[in-house]
Chains A and B, each alone.
Chain A
Amino acid sequence: AQKVTQAQTEISVVEKEDVTLDCVYETRDTTYYLFWYKQPPSGELVFLIRRNSFDEQNEISGRYSWNFQKSTSSFNFTITASQVVDSAVYFCALSEARYGGATNKLIFGTGTLLAVQP
Chain B
Amino acid sequence: DTAVSQTPKYLVTQMGNDKSIKCEQNLGHDTMYWYKQDSKKFLKIMFSYNNKELIINETVPNRFSPKSPDKAHLNLHINSLELGDSAVYFCASSPGGGNTEAFFGQGTRLTVV
Contact = CB atoms under 8 A, between A and B. Distances in A.
Given A32-B98, A43-B88, A47-B103, A103 B42 contact: no
Contacts, number: 91
Interface in B6-65: 30-31, 33, 35, 40-45, 48, 50, 55-56, 58
Nearest to A49: B101
Interface residues of A, number: 30
A35 interface: yes
Interface string A24-57: 0000000111010101000111110010100000
A35 B33 CA distance: 16
Contacts of A98: 97-98
Interface of A: 31-33, 35, 37, 39, 43-47, 50, 52, 89, 91, 95-106, 108, 110-111
Interface of B: 30-31, 33, 35, 40-45, 48, 50, 55-56, 58, 88, 90, 92, 94, 96-107, 109
